[in-house]
Amino acid sequence: MIKITLEKALQEYKRLNYARDEYRILHKYFLQQEIAMDVDLKANLEKLLIKCADGIGSYTRDKGKLTRILNHFFNFVSQKYQLDIEPEDYFPVFKTLEKSERMVALLKYLQEKPRTRKEIAEHFHITERALRDNLQELQSGFTFLGYTMKIKVDPRTNTYDSTIHPVFLPLNLSEVYALTVGLKLMGRDSVFGDIFYYIADSIFQQLSSYARQRIAGKANEVGISFNEIPALVYRAEDEIIASGRDQLLAYFLKSGAPCKIEYNTEAGIQTITGKVNYVKSGRNYLTHRIIVQNEKKQVEIDYDQILSIQFTRSEN
């Protein structure tokens, strides 16, 4: 049997993955744990994995980062040398994340589809008991960076569900200006206007006083202003639809669900029920106009003609 030393595996990992920083972190960590670099991986793999996992608790730097690197390295070892191991069983990343990271990881995972508590616990390699408190806080409302985010549990199926998908962008002031003012400008006479305005106002409200002053001053030059949002809370799609918000077309364009639209014409107010789609002009799609189509007809409607839009289950 050919001996595969830890040092040899580390060198191959660095060479094939260009992982110089990871190599340095791992090499230092193995020495701290008094793990010999000439240890035979095949003969001592389980003992090595257990010792590496036990040492994470006393690691004084970023435990989450170390855990991710250990997972990546031992996954590489498993594939390279055809060793039957599941690194996540020894280095569950979820346990070592900071609280905010855990919550965001949960939200992103639940965004894919409804999950039971058992499924969630198995995915993150933790017990259902350890998971309980995090899920309870997400149901009550978890606040991060000024935003309150929630999930729902279906009492009939005991599944957890969420369409929320947290996105956090570290932007400089020029990028923030382009995003907020740009969204407001693009939102004018656009089918996405309501969404664009809400996103821009939400971002603006989270800025420092200095940043708000700088951006508002330049925005006023092009006729743009920002509105205060009473509470920065995640807006569930079904709640938005049920609230009857006017001109909120993004959901219907995304989902293909039928809706009832009331719109103004020269002949008076008209109503049509059907599915919403984009209007195409040549190779471009128009953002100020939509098509509403059902089995009997289709109608093109300008954004500024729309008086109301509502969810419906039938097309006529």
What is the CATH classification number for the domain harbouring 289? 2.30.30
pLDDT band at 292 (very low <50, low <70, confident <90, very high): very high
Mean pLDDT within 150-172: 81
Mean pLDDT within 51-75: 85
Residue 233: inside a domain, yes or no? no
15 lies in the same domain as 80 = yes
Q: What percent of the chain has pLDDT over 70?
A: 95
Weakest mean pLDDT among 95-104, 205-214, 278-287: 95-104
14 lies in the same domain as 74 = yes
Averaged pLDDT of the chain: 85
pLDDT band at 241 (very low <50, low <70, confident <90, very high): low
46 lies in the same domain as 113 = no
| Structure tokens belonging to residue 274 | 């059907």
Alpha-carbon gap, residue 187 to 200, rounded angstroms: 10
30 lies in the same domain as 81 = yes
10 lies in the same domain as 25 = yes
Pseudo-torsion of CA 105, 106, 107, 112, nearest 10°? 100
51/311: higher pLDDT:
51
Q: Which of 130, 161, 192 is the last residue of a domain?
A: 161
Residue 129: inside a domain, yes or no? yes
pLDDT at position 249 is 77
User: In total, how many domains does the chain have?
Assistant: 4
104 lies in the same domain as 90 = no
pLDDT at position 225 is 93
How wide is the angle at C-alpha 239 spanned by C-alphas 236 and 243, nearest 5°? Answer: 140
What is the total residue count of the chain? Answer: 316
10 lies in the same domain as 26 = yes
Q: Which of 72, 94, 116 is the last residue of a domain?
A: 94
Residue 276: inside a domain, yes or no? yes
129 lies in the same domain as 90 = no
pLDDT of 80-118, one tens digit each?
888 888 888 888 878 777 788 888 888 888 888 888 888
pLDDT at position 11 is 92
89 lies in the same domain as 135 = no
Residue 83: inside a domain, yes or no? yes
Q: Residue 310: CB partners within 8 Å, gap ≥ 6?
A: 241, 244, 259, 260, 261
50/168: higher pLDDT:
50
Residue 194, domain extent = 173-220
Residue 68: inside a domain, yes or no? yes
Q: List the helix and strand counts (H, then E) for the chain.
A: 14, 10
pLDDT at position 314 is 56
Out of 123-127, 163-167, 273-277, the most confident range is 273-277
- Region of residue 210 (left: phi > 0; alpha: psi -120 to 50; beta: else): alpha
pLDDT of 16-62, one tens digit each?
887 788 889 999 999 999 999 999 888 888 899 999 988 887 887 88
Residue 42: inside a domain, yes or no? yes
The enclosing domain of 115 has a CATH number of 1.10.10
Mean pLDDT within 133-145: 88
Mean pLDDT within 144-156: 83
Mean pLDDT within 142-168: 82
156 lies in the same domain as 183 = no
pLDDT at 245 over 60: no
200 lies in the same domain as 135 = no
Residue 156: inside a domain, yes or no? yes
pLDDT at position 42 is 85
Q: Which of 94, 113, 140 is the last residue of a domain?
A: 94
Q: Say if residues 196 and 183 touch (Cβ distance below 8 Å).
A: yes
Alpha-carbon gap, residue 255 to 257, rounded angstroms: 5
Residue with tokens 């595996």: 9
pLDDT at position 300 is 92
Q: Is 112 helix (H, G, I), strand (E, B) or coil?
A: coil
Q: Say if residues 253 and 276 touch (Cβ distance below 8 Å).
A: yes
pLDDT band at 308 (very low <50, low <70, confident <90, very high): confident
Residue 226: inside a domain, yes or no? no
Alpha-carbon gap, residue 121 to 140, rounded angstroms: 19
Alpha-carbon gap, residue 223 to 200, rounded angstroms: 14
Q: Is 233 helix (H, G, I), strand (E, B) or coil?
A: strand
Mean pLDDT within 159-182: 86
- Region of residue 190 (left: phi > 0; alpha: psi -120 to 50; beta: else): beta
pLDDT band at 201 (very low <50, low <70, confident <90, very high): very high
213 lies in the same domain as 149 = no
Q: What percent of the chain has pLDDT over 90?
A: 22
